[in-house]
Structure 1
């Protein structure tokens, strides 16, 4: 019995280490993908492949990808160095998420917003599952748990917002809607915010997730101000405030329950 348990434990450890290396490799591939694409340096997932919309965040808002990429690599290295017992489900989610990001970058070179929207949908599914999984994860040392929640939360929050932008550009490219029409784009903002709010509640108030979504709304608000589309400006500002309010409410509710 002892021998069997020992063998099972060693197999689990080996599998975990292999996946940990896979997570790091996938994170690195995603980071270097923009400079090795066939058509030259590419962009980052959700950075607006396709027509510019009234709800496209201002250019500097996409600099958040630098933070996301850095955190992904730091988290992967930390998990390897500390030999943390990261759940297999989370590791698989991260591999799919990071490779999905690299796939998006490759597809962006084809100028097909429908293809990139498909890649972002894959990323969204993996990111959401990861952020919902990480809420139950307690890693040693404690700082690694915090790092993992921040890394996964920031990525998931931004990808959630980015998916709606990319899906919108795909709709414009398909001729379903017009890029200059503000009405349907306001609906997209409402749906995106409702989705972000839902996941903020489901993650029990993952701060990084909420801040990433808020950052996207701030970027949209700046675009609205620059374009003179007051409806977009007001909607995005209200959306940002609502997301922060939901975050505070969820975290306060959780704190009260613990006491």
Structure 2
């Protein structure tokens, strides 16, 4: 067993997105521009509706995937291809924007905690102009694994024979939500063929001899195992891994392509009303 060390610690910092929603961003910052295949990680959390109710009105995407996980509250999704969903607490949504999507994400409650994550996942060049696709699943559909003081929700990938509901064929993403009791330990085989990170959002944990505070992302180095121990108050974190694509990344706002001319084409298509080229298909429940 060769535990994966911490290669980099990235404290999240506040960014304003959408119609004024404050998010904590770790990937997609000057400290960590990207972690192939991951382009951005936003953690949103507020119990003040004035900070989130305006939501994320219509905006375009091309060339990548959005993976949204709601922890509390719920968010209504509508897109230019006709998909509609209401992502409630514990639910997940995977949207492959690919050749082009225009969508909105609007909080539907006026009081209470709104909390969750949005992860942007890159697409290989061969997939960037393919047809969009959409998967959404409720909390009840997500398998859970309970082991030795750890409760793990398997959103994507596999754990102890349980397979997550989201399938990301291009990058083989593994996405786990792990809750640890006080001082409990979580150990997982994890090949270094995949880039991986841990993001603590409740309590504190210790990984590879280093303490991880809340709102801190740890990029994992080479090894074949992840070994994390919770602090005295327990811990909750997401563990995410994916196969690198290894291609050039040119990103400008909501468009992620391989070359600058492709970015310029995306802007031209959006301005001319040509961004949406194919109708998405929707799976899940």
Identify the TM-score tier after normalising by the shorter chain.
under 0.3
- Give the alignment's TM-score, normalised by structure 1: 0.26
Larger radius of gyration: 1
- Give the alignment's TM-score, normalised by structure 2: 0.24
Determine which structure has the larger helix proportion and give its number.
1
